[in-house]
Amino acid sequence: MQLLLASASPRRKELLALFGIPFGIHPADIDETMDPARPPEGEVARVSRCKALAVPRGPEDVVIAADTIVVCQGRVLGKPHSPREAEEMLSLLSGRDHQVMTGCTILAGDREKTFTEITDLHFRPLSPEEIRRYVDTGEPMDKAGAYGIQGGAALFCRRMEGDYYNVMGLPVCRLWQELRQLVPEMMEAAL
């Protein structure tokens, strides 16, 4: 029985390591396009499931896949494709409430669990200069919503309700609970 993470994200790797279980990295290469006509919490869960199913695995292996988006005023924000797009995303988030949604899927033999964890955040108003300086660091370019809460964007968040680690890309508390129910034999050796 092997634990497999369907992601190349250094943040997800770091967070999964908290469980104290050895795991392999097997990024899934899938089309992550979401249907804008469907609710984002369902679409992010669907994408996580597609990622999990795309990973080759043995019959005893356990696969964990995740996908994270930011939703503000009904608009889904993935990873920016350019510095200009990152600035636009951060301008939208400035002074507003938004949600970070992570869809997560666990496959274990014929057992499967998919869920979406949601964290509510509020950013203080940001000046155009602050946004430009932050984008110039390069940090926003590989992150949903164009920010990393564990980095420079920690200075932007006035309040948060929910799982902090969900905002980083892996809802560790909920994932831990789901793994304990789905694969208790694996989790006996954890932490």
Examine the pLDDT at 188 and tell me if it is beyond 90. Answer: no
Confidence grade of residue 182 (pLDDT, cut at 50, 70, 90): very high
**Of the candidates 61, 19, 50, the residue with the CA atom closest to the CA atom of residue 170:** 19
Per-residue DSSP letter, 151: T
Confidence grade of residue 35 (pLDDT, cut at 50, 70, 90): confident
Examine the pLDDT at 185 and tell me if it is beyond 90. Answer: no
pTM for the model: 0.91
Output the domain CATH number for residue 175.
3.90.950.10
163 tagged catalytic? no
When divided into structural domains, the chain yields a total of 1
Average pLDDT over residues 69-73: 96
More confidently predicted of 186 and 59: 59
* Residue-number span of the structural domain to which 49 is assigned: 3-187
* pLDDT score, position 41: 95
User: Could you say which of 29, 31, 67, 120 is catalytic?
Assistant: 67
**Of the candidates 119, 121, 122, the residue with the CA atom closest to the CA atom of residue 162:** 119
Tokens of 8: 């190349």
Examine the pLDDT at 31 and tell me if it is beyond 80. Answer: yes
Which sign does the torsion angle of CA 158, 162, 168, 169 carry? negative
Range from 4-13, 32-41, 107-116 carrying the lowest mean pLDDT:
32-41
Average pLDDT over residues 21-25: 92
Examine the pLDDT at 9 and tell me if it is beyond 80. Answer: yes
